[in-house]
Amino acid sequence: MTAISYRSIRKLIRSELPRIAQLAEQLTQRSLNQQPEYFLSLKVAEAIYGHFKGCVFSTEMSLQDICKDVGLNIEEAPTECRIKGLRRADLVVKSAKTGRCRNVIEFKRGVKEGDLLADARRLAWLCQNAEIGHRMEKNFLVTVTTSSKNVLDARSEVIENMLKDEFPVVCLKPEYVDLSEFKSTKSKSQGKDLHAMVWEFNCSRFLDR
């Protein structure tokens, strides 16, 4: 468990990413951006489990099963939200007591605008359509990259503009993580500083509670 008692998953992930980046290098001699997204998913799950009581997890859980658990009609999801079919979520936080889904966390390595927007739409749709008071009103997207903070801030602006147009009750909380003490080991970005961003998608109905 971390020394600070965080109440926010977003802030906990931000605080744990440097430790996870260091662990990646120690275990594999490769930088965090060269690990499969599954590595980051598992390490984030371990961090949440160690900090928050009453959480268990599912990896690669189908969106169809998530929607069924939350009480969402998957047929109402727009195609661009990538909910239907054999789509899966990277990490699902669940209640240890009930086994019910609480939050979805997606992971990326890079800042391709189309890829980030695709996941952002999925997470925002889940936020906006969850029953009022359900924990699924809050979901997260994490990326690790060699792109600079300025680029990540620009992606935040693009996502925020999309939310205003398509999901007006969903707010974005970006949390930049400076990982510049860690260098990329990928051949195309060898030696470049690492950076990360944790985006929280939060239904505005949830903010006053």
pLDDT tens, residue order, the chain (209 aa): 455 667 799 999 999 999 999 999 999 999 999 999 999 999 999 999 999 888 999 999 999 999 999 999 888 888 888 887 778 999 999 999 999 999 999 999 999 999 999 999 999 999 999 988 899 999 999 999 999 999 999 999 999 999 999 999 999 999 999 999 999 999 999 999 999 999 999 987 544 43
Pairwise CA distance, residues 29 & 27, whole Å: 6
Pairwise CA distance, residues 106 & 116, whole Å: 10
Query: Pairing between strand 101-109 and 88-95?
Result: antiparallel
Predicted structure pTM score: 0.93
Phi and psi at residue 200, in whole multiples of 5°?
A: -105, 125
